[in-house]
Structure 1
């Protein structure tokens, strides 16, 4: 039996997930159905390899030490200390959560009430919209197409004009893989000194840069992180808020008790104590990403435009909106459909990336065949 994988497809009429309209940033509802495939899971930006066997054995050895009849440590003290050591941030400036999704929900619940405005990029992580909708707020999107250079002055001007209450955006951007430079982010933090500016750094390990050194300097700066990507711990759902103490003081009271279970705390803390081992393949994944893009550039099928990325995925615009994802699916590769004519493709193992190249060759061959007709 091969690996079970999923392609997420748009379904009209569901209210499970929000999607921005193309006019004015209003929220529309978006739902998903799952089509099961045999093959490569390149649709969720997961790390392609499981934990090293020696780490798994260490975790197994610690399981008898868990008091399953007791609630977990509410403050996740050991976990926050371990992550603080890794991130070089004081533990008291960290809140652990059930994935960074929960942390984002806490932040938006803290700062967005009915009628208040979240300022973000378009496109960006859809969960921002979801939580704003739950709190009856409004999303103000700043359009950031893959062919548009980010204009920090324009971004600031629009935010000021819109009188926004909270800023959140991912860096590297999810789904485009583009980045905003540190100095531009600092301009935003300083220009909006009266509201929180939250940088979603879910993919920071693939980029190699972070705003964490500025946390103590700027009272309005916060950072969200996850162990689901570079650390390969998507199964346990563990994320963090790193922030100035002023933000921590506002957000912590809204955290539900015992939000990070004992198993997650044990596994995450164990893994964080072996950062050097867990993250040593990140450079290899980045190299594989760059090689895959270089090979794509040589083929350059007209029907699929992939863009350079600083994360572990590529953003693709399809000229033949149905033919491209269908060709991937027929080859047993699950890609994420971000909407009509747009896909996101995760960098996988060497063999999975080779299969992607075979699909690209097939698409190129289909183009040549159509030209002859």
Structure 2
């Protein structure tokens, strides 16, 4: 019998919700699917595929159109099978054996997960009660710890807050000996991206995705953008056929004209703001939770009763995300109708708790 590595004993696999609910607001997905004309175009494109041939290993067409969308040269872009592949690629490419990765907690759990798979030491810097840190706090801790990689989402999942453009750039520039990875998966919902200087900073990688504001979570397509030498190193370790042909064709169709996405994004932001405002009214009325403002497509509720509320919502066929360790609920905005149902049930739960 083989001896399994010790690292496996302490690892907890990612646990996505697999149950079926009437309203699913746990995964930060868009409530929009693709417009019908794009779905039809993707369906028609399948007939053009030579299924006996490997996909384009350079992902050239996707990088060209992504470059146009992000205003970045295609040579500064790596395409990944979702952000997960890219996080793993970064950890295995840029950290030496036994190296160190610094994360800002709470943050996307897969940063630590893939660092541990690569057998890297993980330094967790805890945020304050409102899930905030100052740029100077991050700089000082990173200079003291000297990690090989600092990685954080901006704005943050699950906290919802983030560093503005100037703060993020100053963190990157102050840590010139550390690879700084800024995951902008939710930056479509804010206007503080550092893409404008990402290719000029020699120690910075920025991550983008089609899963959130583009409503293409099923496609599994993400991007790393950065300094050309860093991109060249990633291409040394990237699998040669990591993006299948169907995803490449679909991504090109999605990126060819993104005016539809800009309109959907406006509506997502509007629904989230309405959700936050309605939750704030419930917070003031019942005192069961507090609402933290976010720059994302989800609302954040802080409460000692997060697990109770989570379980009660599940009984009513509504799934949100619960983080008991941080006494918080993360609620992705749904459609106007979904949010209305959620709020009705949430008020009923709060009223019962108050009674």
Please report the TM-score for the alignment, with normalisation by the length of structure 1. 0.88
Distance 2:195 2:354 in 1: 49
Relative to structure 1, is the Cα distance of residues 261 and 205 closer, same or farther in structure 2, using a 3 angstrom cutoff?
A: same
- The two structures, once aligned, show a CA RMSD in angstroms of 2.0
Is residue 339 of structure 2 the alignment partner of residue 353 of structure 1? yes
Shift of 1:155: 1.4
SS in 2 for 1:179: coil
Match of 1:220 in 2: 203
Match of 2:296 in 1: 311
SS in 2 for 1:38: coil
Is residue 125 of structure 2 the alignment partner of residue 139 of structure 1? no
Pairing 1:123-162 to 2, within 5 Å after superposition: 123-147=106-130, 149-162=132-145
Match of 1:266 in 2: 249
Q: Would you say the 8 A contact 2:275–2:339 is kept in 1?
A: yes
Residue by residue over 1:25-68, the C-alpha shift from the partner in whole angstroms, topping out at 9 and shown as x without a partner, is xx763563856243111010001121111111112222211111
Q: Would you say the 8 A contact 2:21–2:317 is kept in 1?
A: yes
Match of 2:321 in 1: 336
Match of 2:49 in 1: 66
Pairing 1:36-185 to 2, within 5 Å after superposition: 36-147=19-130, 149-185=132-168
SS in 2 for 1:322: helix
Q: Would you say the 8 A contact 2:161–2:294 is kept in 1?
A: yes
Bigger mean CA deviation after superposition, 359-368 or 165-174: 359-368
Distance 2:19 2:132 in 1: 37
Ranges in structure 1 where 5+ consecutive residues have no aligned partner: 1-14, 19-26
Q: Would you say the 8 A contact 1:318–1:324 is kept in 2?
A: no
Distance 1:302 1:345 in 2: 18
Residue by residue over 1:277-307, the C-alpha shift from the partner in whole angstroms, topping out at 9 and shown as x without a partner, is 1331111111111111111111114333331
| Stretches of 4+ aligned residues off by more than 4 angstroms | 15-18
What is the aligned residue count? 347
Relative to structure 1, is the Cα distance of residues 284 and 16 closer, same or farther in structure 2, using a 3 angstrom cutoff?
A: farther
Distance 1:334 1:324 in 2: 11
Structure with greater proportional strand content:
1
Please report the TM-score for the alignment, with normalisation by the length of structure 2. 0.92
Ranges in structure 2 where 5+ consecutive residues have no aligned partner: 1-5
